A and B are shown apart, each in its own frame.
Chain A
Amino acid sequence: MAAGAVAGGLGALLGIGGGVFLVPFLNVVLGLPLNVASGIGLMTVIGTSSVVSSGTASRRLVNMRLGMLLQVPASAGALAAGYYVARVPDRVLYIVFSVVTAIIAATMVSRLDRRNVILAPGASPDRFGGRFYEEESGCEVVYRTRRLPAAVAVSLAAGSVSGLLGIGGGILQVPAMNAWCGVPLRAAAATSAVMIGITAMASAPLYWTRGDISAPAAAAAVLGVLIGSQAAIRFGARARARSLKLLMAFVLAVVSLSFIIKAL
């Protein structure tokens, strides 16, 4: 439950769900089989996402138009991966995930001080862009999206990783939306936080019917995540974008390292 609370807090803050922290913890530290850890991870992702979706704090930040567009490839990837996951060796999953998270961590650090917001008061967003009040700059900001095909491709990969490893996929989508597609980190995190629950729902039933979700363990983890998410929602608005990026890059690096060690 404690691990769930930490996972939920970090997950809600960064828009990446609790699974990316919890699954390695359950598998590497507690020794649960990867399929069971993944099943529990998917439930915690749904928990985190549901708390964010039902709250008001991030409503102005969530870009549902962009989110639902990217949700199509994400859900398709998650469904396919959840169906075929039993045929993929664990070692392959560890290596793939480790490499991908390492690349994204490096990308995040290289773009630490770049901002995607337009501060001009008269600017208008494009079809999949948006606007929101940003505390950091003290005014309403606008953003426009670019490289949508790249976002679609990353979402397909994110959904596949979600179905394979029991995470939400936000660990790939948030940095990709921020670093490549012009979406400010706070908006990317808020949008992703809503999307990951839907992505997880595309594969969670498959894990359920295979018996990969241990009810007592999942319940403890989800309860912890629900508590952690609530706390993070209240804290998140005050955090600086640069600090969030550094935190995300650090988390990605740790996760990458833990999985490559597991693969070796």
Chain B
Amino acid sequence: MDGNSPEDPALERALRGLMLAVVYGSTIGLLAGLVVWLFRRESDTPAMLLNGALIVLMAAPAVRVLISAVEAVRQKEWLHLATIAAVAILLGVAVTIASRS
């Protein structure tokens, strides 16, 4: 499940690798946090692990948007790139509003 094919340029392979790292990293963090939470609920550690892993997972779609943008630039698909940019702006607005709440 590495998401790469031989004809992908190096940058896109790297970004897909980053996507995998995000998914695996958040999975490990969630598992570790849940195990610690089951045995040591009074500690701050499980909350830090769980919340950190959930935040990393929330960032995964942004990596997918970035991969699409790189592909669009490589293929010189400017309309496609414009729609990707619009999506990225909307996601940025969501994060900005949330951080100010």
Contact A79:B61 (CB < 8 A) given known A64-B68, A68-B80:
no
Q: Mark B71-101, 1 if CB is under 8 A from A, else 0.
A: 1000001001001101100110111011101
B94 and A79 within 8 A (CB) = yes
Query: A149 contacts the other chain (Cβ, under 8 Å)?
Result: no
A50 CB, min distance to chain B CBs, angstroms: 4
Alpha-carbon distance between A210 and B99 when the two chains are bound, in angstroms: 10
Q: Main SS of the interface on chain B?
A: helix
Query: A111 contacts the other chain (Cβ, under 8 Å)?
Result: no
Q: Mark A178-218, 1 if CB is under 8 A from B, else 0.
A: 00000000000000001001101111111011100101101
A202 and B1 within 8 A (CB) = no
Residues of A within 8 A of B (CB): 43, 46-47, 49-51, 53-57, 59, 64-65, 68-69, 71-72, 75-76, 78-79, 82-83, 194, 197-198, 200-206, 208-210, 213, 215-216, 218-220, 222-223, 226, 230, 233
In this complex, how many residues of chain B approach chain A with their Cβ under 8 Å: the count is 48
Residues of B within 8 A of A (CB): 1-5, 16, 19-20, 22-23, 26-27, 30-31, 33-34, 37, 46-47, 50-51, 53-55, 57-58, 60-62, 64-65, 68, 71, 77, 80, 83-84, 86-87, 90-91, 93-95, 97-99, 101
